A and B are shown apart, each in its own frame.
Chain A
Amino acid sequence: MKEEFNIISNLIEENTRVLDVGCGNGDLMKFLQKNKTKDIRGLEISKEKVQNCLSKGLTVIEGNAERDLKQFPKSSFDYVILSQTLQAFLNPELVINELLKVGKKVIVTIPNFGYWRVRLQLLFKGTMPVTENLPHEWYNTPNLHMCTIKDFYNFCSTKNIKIYKSIALKKSRISEINKSNLNYKNLDSHLGIFLIES
């Protein structure tokens, strides 16, 4: 988690306006508030988590990204962050489009379903993968649309979404993703982090 926060923080310029979509208990918000910018908001679907955030004095709105991102004006944030949440939406494409409208730049992080540990489970055990990063069973997972780093990379090029920066994370090892190492990074990383723009 800490590594991901550091990478996200490094992608953000100081004193900019940031929206964290699916902000959970506000850990990333707190981290960015301390390190980057005071001007940070959150959107979260769980009442309990929203209450936790508000209790810490964080500005968070209870809401659903698929429905409630519309209320923010176009380009009203310098950065919109979606950390490990894209796979949980009914319609991830719609959410990405909304994020790109609201934010001048968007940071999306993706638990990589192409990671070799994940692939091996399905290949050898023949069961849906359960890993440290994807701890749920098939019957109780909130993840409806799992994808791989490669899937997201291809999605961006098909939809003409500009990728500013793409970073692969394996444990605490950070590396850049590019066209030539895409297949390898897709196999060897547990998390992908993308800085994109429409």
Chain B
Amino acid sequence: MNKNIGSKKIIISNPLKLDCGKEINNFPIAYETYGELNSEKSNAILVFHALTGDQYVSGKNPITNKDGWWSYVVGENKPIDTSKFFVICANVIGGCMGSYGPSTINESTGKQIGTDFPIITINDMVNAQYELIKYLEIEKLFAVVGGSMGGMQVLQFVANFPNKAKLAIPIACTSSHSAQNIAFNELGRQAIMADSKWENGFYSNYKLNPDKGLAVARMAAHITYLSEKGLQEKFGRKLQDRDSLRYGFEADFQIESYLRYQGSVFVDRFDANSYLYITRAMDYFDLSKQYKGNLSDAFKKSKTKFFVISFTSDWLYPTSENREIVIALNSIGTDVGFVEIESDKGHDSFLLDVPSFLKTLGDYINSTYKIINERRI
């Protein structure tokens, strides 16, 4: 299941102490890069992926043969222009695209690690990726950028490494996973664990895959990424390949067919245990708690410039939660910009073709890059 065709990979030999208390070492990080690092090494942007993302930000994803997950944002002449910037993205630990995760083969047993894999956190993910930046010998990143769980990693990265990035752009995220967020993640995990083929996480030993459970998890989550208005406009009560109701439990409605499709393609590319581990990491994320309830303290040592973005129809990580990050930054005088982008596309807006988002993000990154470089001269 652990696929990493064509991906760059390094083995981190430094021991990494995880939040759960365990220590890992000699573990793989799979990553991709786009564009060229300039001679001053001043044009590097580290992109963090979301729950079901991977290192294939742009271009063709070799696993799915589809466009990379952030093709609207990253690429030549895109908002993050790879003819100008050197873009790095790593698969998070816990993931299933080549980095150390539950589907990694344990060399001593020859079997997948499964649920013997330690519980990881957003903090652990970020610390692992820091090793990659060290390996690439980049003293200072121009920017760290990410949406959703990627945004959480942006916040954690700046908190852990206050002066490693000049600019931080957390998008559609939160500093603390809400009860509603945890509830939806728990629903997904229970769907996976209720699948009889899950086998307590050791399904690969039996050549099984809890794909039904994972598909249900994906279907439920997918709804949370959209908005009521978006769903209504796209699907309404339209029927799927039929003129009338069939009076049965087949997918009569287009929305049912769409969700079933989303579930079925997801299981081909994602590992069920990774879904459990990564959603858990998100649930455990509470940055202000790490700083004794004062979120501002997480950023106090940093001179990083921030740009926070939210979307009007995102009810999973609503504007109010993004604003809390802005308030915490303002209260310590951080250079922070903020805008809520108008969009009907729900939480997924950051991944989709939302022109005002793409334009603002691109213009902001480019003019900030220019301003920072001018100042240095």
Which residues of A line the B interface, CB within 8 A?
A: 17, 38, 41, 47, 50-51, 53-63, 71-73, 76
> In B346-366, which residues have CB < 8 Å from any A CB?
356, 359-360, 363-364
The answer to whether A55 touches B367 (Cβ under 8 A) is yes
Complex Cα spacing A118 to B335, Å: 41
Query: In whole Å, how far is A32's beta carbon from the nearest beta carbon of chain B?
Result: 15
The answer to whether A71 touches B326 (Cβ under 8 A) is yes
The answer to whether B363 touches A61 (Cβ under 8 A) is no
Q: Does B371 contact A (CB under 8 A)?
A: yes
The answer to whether B333 touches A54 (Cβ under 8 A) is no
Query: In whole Å, how far is A162's beta carbon from the nearest beta carbon of chain B?
Result: 25
**Which A residues are in CB contact (< 8 Å) with B371?**
57
The number of chain B residues with a CB under 8 A from chain A is 26
Complex Cα spacing A139 to B43, Å: 51
Q: Which of B337, B340, B360 contacts A59 (CB 8 A)?
A: B337
Q: Does B327 contact A (CB under 8 A)?
A: yes
**Which B residues are in CB contact (< 8 Å) with A60?**
337-339
**Which B residues are in CB contact (< 8 Å) with A73?**
331-333
Q: Which of A41, A47, A54, A57 contacts B370 (CB 8 A)?
A: A57
The answer to whether B330 touches A54 (Cβ under 8 A) is no
The answer to whether A47 touches B331 (Cβ under 8 A) is no
Q: Take A54-B360, A55-B367, A57-B368 as given contacts and tell me if A72 and B337 are in contact as well, using a CB distance cutoff of 8 Å.
A: no
Q: Take A50-B339, A62-B340, A71-B331 as given contacts and tell me if A55 and B326 are in contact as well, using a CB distance cutoff of 8 Å.
A: no
Complex Cα spacing A17 to B330, Å: 13
Q: Which of A54, A61, A71, A76 contacts B364 (CB 8 A)?
A: A54
The answer to whether A57 touches B367 (Cβ under 8 A) is yes
Q: Take A61-B330, A73-B331 as given contacts and tell me if A47 and B339 are in contact as well, using a CB distance cutoff of 8 Å.
A: yes
Query: In whole Å, how far is A20's beta carbon from the nearest beta carbon of chain B?
Result: 13
Chain A residue, CB-CB nearest to B364: A54
The answer to whether A59 touches B367 (Cβ under 8 A) is no
**Which B residues are in CB contact (< 8 Å) with A38?**
375
Q: Which of A57, A62, A72 contacts B338 (CB 8 A)?
A: A62
The answer to whether A59 touches B305 (Cβ under 8 A) is yes
Q: Does B342 contact A (CB under 8 A)?
A: yes
Q: Take A62-B338, A62-B339, A71-B327 as given contacts and tell me if A51 and B333 are in contact as well, using a CB distance cutoff of 8 Å.
A: no
Query: In whole Å, how far is B113's beta carbon from the nearest beta carbon of chain A?
Result: 44
**Which A residues are in CB contact (< 8 Å) with B367?**
55-57
**Which A residues are in CB contact (< 8 Å) with B299?**
none
Q: Take A57-B371, A59-B305 as given contacts and tell me if A51 and B359 are in contact as well, using a CB distance cutoff of 8 Å.
A: yes
Chain B residue, CB-CB nearest to A58: B337
Inter-chain pairs besides A50-B339, A71-B331, 15 sampled, C-beta below 8 Å: A17-B333, A38-B375, A47-B339, A47-B340, A47-B341, A51-B341, A54-B307, A55-B363, A55-B364, A55-B367, A59-B305, A59-B335, A61-B330, A62-B340, A71-B327
Q: Does B336 contact A (CB under 8 A)?
A: yes
Q: Which of A41, A51, A56 contacts B339 (CB 8 A)?
A: A51
The answer to whether B330 touches A55 (Cβ under 8 A) is no
**Which B residues are in CB contact (< 8 Å) with A56?**
363, 367
What are 19 pairs between A and B in contact, CB < 8 Å?
A: A47-B341, A47-B342, A50-B338, A51-B356, A53-B337, A55-B359, A55-B360, A55-B364, A57-B367, A57-B368, A59-B335, A59-B337, A61-B326, A62-B339, A71-B330, A71-B331, A72-B330, A73-B333, A76-B333
Q: Take A61-B326, A71-B326 as given contacts and tell me if A54 and B331 are in contact as well, using a CB distance cutoff of 8 Å.
A: no
Chain A residue, CB-CB nearest to B328: A71
The answer to whether A61 touches B360 (Cβ under 8 A) is no
The answer to whether B339 touches A59 (Cβ under 8 A) is no
Query: In whole Å, how far is B61's beta carbon from the nearest beta carbon of chain A?
Result: 30
Chain A residue, CB-CB nearest to B360: A51
Chain B residue, CB-CB nearest to A42: B337
**Which B residues are in CB contact (< 8 Å) with A58?**
337
The answer to whether A54 touches B363 (Cβ under 8 A) is yes
Query: In whole Å, how far is B329's beta carbon from the nearest beta carbon of chain A?
Result: 9
Query: In whole Å, how far is A80's beta carbon from the nearest beta carbon of chain B?
Result: 13
Complex Cα spacing A63 to B330, Å: 13
**Which B residues are in CB contact (< 8 Å) with A71?**
326-327, 330-331
Query: In whole Å, how far is A149's beta carbon from the nearest beta carbon of chain B?
Result: 33
The answer to whether A57 touches B339 (Cβ under 8 A) is no
Complex Cα spacing A57 to B327, Å: 20
The answer to whether B331 touches A72 (Cβ under 8 A) is yes
Chain A residue, CB-CB nearest to B312: A47
Complex Cα spacing A59 to B330, Å: 12
**Which B residues are in CB contact (< 8 Å) with A76?**
333
